A = this chain, B = another copy of it.
Amino acid sequence: MKKKSIPIGRPSVLRHANAHSILKLLRECGSCSRADLVRASNLSAPTITNVVKDLLAEGLVEPLGEGESSGGRPPDMIRFKAERGCLLAVEISAESISLLLTDLNGNELDTSKFSLLKQKTTPEAVCGYIGDELKALLKKQKKTREQLLALVVGVPAITNVEEGSVLSISTLEGWRSVPLRVMLTKIANCLVIVENDMNLAALGEHYCGTAQAEKNFVFINIGTNVGAGIFLGGRIHHGSQWSAGEIAYLRLPSISRRQPTIHEFGELEMVLTSSGILKSWQEETGKAARTGREIDAVGILNLAQAGDPRAEKIVLHRAEIVADIIVDLSLILNPGLILLGGEVGSHPALIDLVRKQLEGDEFAVTKVGSSAPGNRAVLWGAISLALDAIPGVLLPQPAL
C-alpha cells in the first residue's frame, strides 16, 4: 500500500466537525431547541444530543427551560453563552496598534488604540504595548485572563500563518523573522493566530462588509502602501510561500521592468500611495516638499473631485494604473468582485475614474466596489478567524 489517505470518516474528526457546525448555528440563532438544530443542521437527533452534551459540559451552552409548545411536549430550549469568554483582535500598523475585544458571538465589547509615533517599535516593545492594552481592556470589561480564548493579530507583512512568524516589516524597528505567535502566547496565554493584514481585511469584508455574498473576490488596499487579500473558493489564498497578493511590484504598461529588492518600495507603490500622490502634487504645483505639508493625499483627491485640473491629472494617472491591475486580476482570477480600500483606493474621485477606464472593456467583467472607510475590516477579519477557532479551543481535539 502506497500512502495514507485522509481519514475523512473517523468518528472523532466527524464529531468535531459536527460540533463546529452546531456551534455556528447556535451562535447565529441565539437560543433554540434541539429539534430546531436537527432541522437546521440536517444532522441526526442522537448526534445533536451528543454534541449539545459536550457544549453544556464546556459551559458554552446553557439550558433555558421549556419553550413554547406547538401542540406536543414543549421543547427544551438552550442558549449559546456568548459571555462565557472573549476574543481579541489586534491590528499592528506603522503608526499604531488597534484593539477590538468581543464576546464569543463577535459582539463588540470594547476597543482601544495605542499610537506608535515617537515610541520604541521593536517586536518586544510592541508585544509589551499589546499586553498592557489587553490588561486594561479585560479589567474594564470585568473579564479574567482565562476568559480570553483567542487573540488574532494582523501585521503589514508577509506572514507564515502555520509558524506564526512575520517575515519583515520595514517601517518598524527590528521586525525581521519575528516569532510573533510565540511572543504573544507568553503574554495572552491563549490561542494566538498571526495573519497578514490584507488577508484579514478581505476576511473582514467577507464577514461583515461589502463582500459577504462573494465566494471569489480580491480586496485591494491603496493608502500608505499597496497590497491585496485574495479570497478564493470561500477562503484566503496564501500561496506556496505565504506571499500571494503582494501586488505592489506588479509589472504593468506604465511601470518599468526594473525590480526593486524585497525591502524597497516597488515603482507601482511609489506612484499609487498617499506619499506618491503628494509628491506628484508638489511637482505639479512647484511647491517644495517642505511646504507641501498643508495638503495631504485625501485633500488632493478631494480637489480632483471638485474639478481642479492639476489634481484631476494626478488622479487620472493613478486610475489608469488601478484599471490595469483590475484587468490583470480579472483575467487571471475571474473574481466576482474587486473591492478597493484604503484612503486612496476607496476615494470616490479615484473609483469614479477607474470605473470610467473600465467601461466597454469586455474583459473587466468583474464588479468593482468600494470598501466602506472606517469599517475596521482588519479587526473584524481577525474576529471572524477567532470565532472559527472557538470549537478548536474549547472542545476535545480529534485524535488523528
Contact = CB atoms under 8 A, between A and B. Distances in A.
Given A25-B1, A332-B332, A262 B32 contact: no
A254 to B, nearest CB: 8
Contacts of A1: 25, 28-29, 32, 36-37, 39-40
A199 to B, nearest CB: 12
Interface string A49-85: 0000000000000000000000000000000000000
A164 interface: no
* Residue of A1, A17, A41, A43 most packed against chain B (CB within 10 A): A1
A259 B332 contact: no
A243 B42 contact: no
A197 to B, nearest CB: 17
Contacts of A251: 252-253, 324, 327-328
A316 interface: no
A304 to B, nearest CB: 21
B247 A40 contact: no
B240 A336 contact: yes
A17 B37 CA distance: 24
Interface string A20-35: 0100110011001000
A236 B241 CA distance: 19
A237 interface: yes
Given A242-B334, A252-B252, A259-B362, 7 more contacts: A1-B29, A1-B36, A232-B237, A249-B331, A250-B331, A250-B332, A262-B363
Contacts of A44: 10-11
A145 to B, nearest CB: 32
A336 to B, nearest CB: 4
A261 interface: yes
A309 B42 CA distance: 69
Interface in A230-248: 230, 232-233, 237-247
A208 to B, nearest CB: 15
Contacts of A242: 334
Which of A11, A41, A238, A329 gathers most chain B CB within 10 Å? A41
A117 interface: no
5 contacts: A2-B40, A10-B42, A232-B233, A243-B365, A328-B328
A360 B331 CA distance: 27
B5 A261 contact: no
A374 interface: no
Given A1-B36, A42-B10, A245-B332, A240 B257 contact: no
